[in-house]
Amino acid sequence: MRRSTLGRLAVAACSLSLLTAFAPASAAHGATPYKRVGYFTQWGVYGRDFQVQDLEANGSAGKLTHVNYAFGNIGADGKCFTGNVPGEADAWADYVRPLDAENSVDGVADDGDQPLAGNFNQLRELKARHPGLKVLLSLGGWSWSTHFSDAALTPASRKALVASCIDLYIKGNLPQDGARGGPGAAAGVFDGIDLDWEWPGSAGDTDTTHRPEDKRNFAELVKEFRTQLDAYARSQKKRTTYELTAFVPTAPAKIDAGFDVRRIMRDLDFVTLQGYDFHVSGEKTTAQQSALYARDDFSVAGTVEAWERRGAPARKLVMGMPFYGQGWTGVSGGGDGMGQPATGPAPATWAAGYEDYKALKKLADAGTYQVYRDRRGGHAWLFDGSTLWTYDDPQVLRTKTRYIREEGLGGAMFWSLDADTADGELMTAVDQGLRGH
């Protein structure tokens, strides 16, 4: 739904006055009240060699309000777990792996005796430098939503799941792994939970269970998380709160199948909207993956409107933005390549049809690809006559941040931080755009 200019100004003014009073500590040096939520991937520390310290080095840490750590997993027993299980959990990356001084936020190498190392310790160090920064544990994701439906099935199973997640991540009671881990080892690292169940009531990954009753059970699960997080917060000697968020889909059919919108929005601090993968490289025809506007197709504006129509307040909607592109090769039909048949996903660094922005920027800068823009639709793509990549660049992100401000939305989310350039070009564009620069 589109608001009138006066309506948008009134919402923005009200939101600003309310949010400024409760802004994070980072607002003291001029940050906007908008949320800026970036996903840090557990596996990015390997091939991409993107460490937590890189968020400090590229300037992103001071521009973020939230880091979502992707991902935590749920076992077949319906409880949160970690360990060293290939494809299922990676305690080595999470809290065991020692980092040297060069890759540490505080410039001090990890030693063999400290109970917390790895990404968790680096996130703790990052928070020490940026007291207003929140770190949330993202639970699930596309590959690890396998057991969500079973875990949410009954009141008892929901209570057990939530208690196990709070124990592991909020209380920080990590499994012992040599000198690492133990009771309270990760206490204070995480400030809440981000639910990434993909998708309640709808098909997800090939091994992910889904049921018609998932919609009701997801709402009950959200309520159980809210209840237990609040109870634990009250038990703490120092005044504190824990945040609860969720990543939610764009397709109206998936929204209606899995999300009791008015009910869950009462218990969630905010939701991050799927603002990408509207079309993917596995499709036989090239198409936009993240357009702001699109007639008779998925779009960011359409996603926002779908959630608002179902009762979600604008201030709790955080727009998802891709820091990567979807690509096709063997594109025929000429022209600018958009909407044309293709032979398959484009070759790429990590996975066919999926490429980080930093790599796509090099293609654009090299001059072998031409940049095309749909200015009315608010999206861009690269095409060299055979291979096409649809992606968001700084110009697209400036358009999207203006939309966030005009519509009184809660802010922006990005998947994922390791795909940005070494100088944080996309993060800077979003930050400046949300400030109105």
- Residues catalogued as catalytic: 198
What token pair was written down for 230? 């609040």
What token pair was written down for 286? 């090239």
Element (H, E) at 325: strand 324-329
Pairing mode, strands 84-85 and 354-356? unpaired
In angstroms, rounded to a whole number, what is the distance separating the alpha carbons of residues 273 and 277?
Answer: 12
Q: Give Cβ neighbours of residue 65 (< 8 Å, ≥ 6 apart).
A: 24, 26, 31, 34, 35, 36, 37, 132, 133, 134, 411
Where are the extended beta strands (E) located within 233-269? Answer: 243-248
In angstroms, rounded to a whole number, what is the distance separating the alpha carbons of residues 159 and 174?
Answer: 19
Residue 325 backbone zone (phi > 0: left; psi -120 to 50: alpha; other: beta) = beta
Cβ contact 91:82 at 8 Å? yes
DSSP letters for 327-344: EEES--S-TTSTT-B-SE
Number of helices followed by number of strands (H, E) in the chain: 13, 19
